Amino acid sequence: MKKLIVEAMSATYEILIERGVLSNCASFIAPVVRGKRALIITDTNVAPLYLEKVKASLTKGGFETYSHIFTAGEQSKHLTTVAEIYDTLAENEFTRKDFIVALGGGVCGDISGFAAASYMRGIDFVQIPTTLLSQVDSSVGGKTGVDTKYGKNLVGAFYQPKLVLIDPDTLNTLSDHYFADGMGEIIKYGCIRNAELFSTLENVDINENIEDIILECLKIKRDVVNEDEREGGIRMILNFGHTAGHSVEKLSEFTLSHGECVAKGMVMIVKASEKLGLTENGTADRIVKLCEKCGLDTSTDFELDVIAENAKNDKKGSGSDLNIILISKIGSSFIHTVNKNDFALYLSK
């Protein structure tokens, strides 16, 4: 078993990585939660695959176990879904000592975490991410929330889980599309902080090395969160490619998935920053080639001024300014503040 410890300002918890851990999840959950009642939150894609396995382990471990299943997809990531979770919790008389288990991808983790943060002003929750994107990124760090019609993740809270359990075997049931989706975030990590990881991704069989790749990404996420839990500074670098990416995601009405939009956002901003002399020449080409290797299309049909205009509500903004993340070269990132009206200058097809 591989183990990392997150030591954020508000909480300390473990990330455990082991194949087959879903079947024995209760033994790891029991020491970190207070109550004996668990609500497993999952979606219509994941429930048929893993819900009974997790429920059986929790029941065998002595927990009174309930489940809440929502319709899979980003379209469910809104306050109505959270309200339905509140109803399930209240109808089954959950108290502050009980807990939630988020079983699924990033949407499930974000929704479940926000429900946990806000129900009775906070109950425990455990992350069991089942997609590559959620395993390397969204399950760790305490960002929870939902979308509104004005933008992605505009309503939410910082709320750390009690534990993150990662079973790489769940990746066997991912489609090629959603495996590639996770690679968008993995490539991001190499770009912002680990040139060696980026080079590894360029040169090895990714599937054969996926556990080590997951671990390297989580080390970066852990270190950044430990330093800056609430995104007051260095944690902003984790948003590389996200400002434009979130805009494209919303413009597509979420028919494009998060990781592929991040890939598009990274390439757009690096092409532009190369032209502006802020990034080493040739960097964008390397990112494009690696994205292509991973099955990620980095092109977009949306006009750049539309993407820029749509990014003005991005939560990384402050007044008339927008904090964007640039890289000087692979593995070296920095925060760059621009006027929101000038953001289009930092985008290029």
Among residues 222, 258, 286, 340, the one annotated as catalytic is 258
* Single-letter amino acid code for the residue at 261: C
Q: Decide: residue 315, CB within 10 A, 0-12 exposed, 13-18 middle, 19+ buried.
A: middle
Question: ∠ CA(65), CA(129), CA(317), 5° rounding?
Answer: 120
Among residues 77, 162, 193, 246, the one annotated as catalytic is 246
Look up 235 and say whether it is catalytic. yes
Q: Decide: residue 185, CB within 10 A, 0-12 exposed, 13-18 middle, 19+ buried.
A: buried
Look up 246 and say whether it is catalytic. yes
Look up 64 and say whether it is catalytic. no
Among residues 37, 74, 185, 216, the one annotated as catalytic is 185
Among residues 45, 194, 239, 310, the one annotated as catalytic is 239
Question: ∠ CA(100), CA(116), CA(156), 5° rounding?
Answer: 140
Nearest to 105 by CA among 245, 258, 236: 258
Among residues 91, 93, 121, 203, the one annotated as catalytic is 121
Which position has the token pair 């992350």? 127
Look up 121 and say whether it is catalytic. yes
Among residues 231, 249, 250, 271, the one annotated as catalytic is 231
What gap in Å lies between CA 41 and CA 43, rounded to an integer? Answer: 7
What gap in Å lies between CA 106 and CA 138, rounded to an integer? Answer: 6
DSSP 8-state class, residue 167:
-
What gap in Å lies between CA 206 and CA 184, rounded to an integer? Answer: 13
Mapped onto helix, strand or coil, the DSSP state of residue 229 is: coil
Token pair for residue 61? 């471990």
DSSP 8-state class, residue 12:
E
Among residues 77, 193, 222, 242, the one annotated as catalytic is 242
Among residues 221, 222, 264, 340, the one annotated as catalytic is 221
Residue 299 Rama label (left phi>0; alpha psi -120 to 50; beta)? beta
Among residues 55, 152, 193, 235, the one annotated as catalytic is 235
Residues linked to residue 128 through DSSP beta bridges, in sequence order: 103
Task: For CA atoms 293, 17, 116, 8, give the dihedral sign.
Answer: negative
Look up 143 and say whether it is catalytic. yes
Token pair for residue 134? 């959620």
Among residues 37, 77, 143, 162, the one annotated as catalytic is 143
Active-site amino acid positions: 121, 143, 185, 221, 231, 235, 239, 242, 246, 258
